[in-house]
Structure 1
Amino acid sequence: MSILRIITGLWKNQEETSERAKSPQLKTRYYKERFDKVMEAVTRVVNSKPDWKVFHIDKERGEIMVETKNLLWKSDLIISVFKISPTRSAIDVLSAKRGTFGDLGTSYFNILAFYKALHKEIKPE
């Protein structure tokens, strides 16, 4: 675990990926796969994690809402899959801890854990 992530996690309780993210680990990921194949892979990955539970899937919008449990608190992940072209897709993730205080970097590490597991299923560009 990165000490800096834990320190900034004292006051931050969410992290998200985007095109303009400062950290390269938090950049939007692109895949040379069809939208439906990416949605299936994301669902499989989330269901394979022991403390993660899917509580809503919106296939039309490409959103999957996930609840994660930690020893101390629960967090929510919103995984958005975008159809860029018929054979190209992108994924952004928002992870947020429930409650008011910081998450000690768990939102960041949840995103990294998700991408690591997903990249075993499908490879990014």
Structure 2
Amino acid sequence: MSIGYKIRKFFSNHVETKDRHEDKKLQTHYYKASKDSVMKVIETYFQSKDTYSINAVSKEHGEISATTKKGKRVFVVATIIMVRPYHTAVDFSVTTESLLQIDFGHSSKVIQELYEHMNKELQLITEH
């Protein structure tokens, strides 16, 4: 990771995951599961946390959006795409609402927490 990326990440209020992300922790995760089961894990996670409130669930588009009710205001969009049978990609987009448009890495930490939970619930595919 370059110094420039680290500075941008620290002073930004928005982070997205992608396949070839500079930060390995923020690369797209692939799971050996169906799209529906992955969506259920994410939906259950948000429902089980009293800090989150689900805004919308679109099974057709493979998206779930949620916001926090307590603490720092965070808006999360989870995108779930079944690449092939039992090979499902999960990406997150997280924006932290703040006056200065700076979250000091909070958005990145939210994504890492989400992936950690999913890695416990589903089988991660390391090669794709």
1:14 correspondence with 2:23: no
1:89 correspondence with 2:67: no
Contact 1:67 1:75 in 2 (8 A): yes
Structure 2 unaligned blocks of 5 or more: none
Deviation at 1:12, TM superposition (A): 0.4
TM-score (norm. length: structure 2) = 0.84
- In structure 2, give the amino acid aligned to 1:18: K
Alignment match, 1:61 = 61
Aligned residues: 120
Alignment match, 1:28 = 28
What SS does the corresponding residue of 1:53 show, helix, strand or coil? strand
Cα separation, 2, equivalents of 1:78 and 1:104: 20
Cα separation, 2, equivalents of 1:22 and 1:46: 27
Alignment match, 2:44 = 44
What SS does the corresponding residue of 2:123 show, helix, strand or coil? coil
Runs of 4 or more consecutive aligned structure 1 residues displaced over 3 Å after TM superposition: 5-10
RMSD: 2.0
Alignment match, 2:120 = 120
TM-score (norm. length: structure 1) = 0.86
Deviation at 1:8, TM superposition (A): 4.8
- Deviation sequence 1:87-125 (CA, Å, 0-9, x none): 211000000012442011110000011111112211211
Deviation at 1:10, TM superposition (A): 5.5
Contact 2:53 2:66 in 1 (8 A): yes
Identity of matched residues, %? 27
1:101 correspondence with 2:101: yes
- In structure 1, give the amino acid aligned to 2:22: K
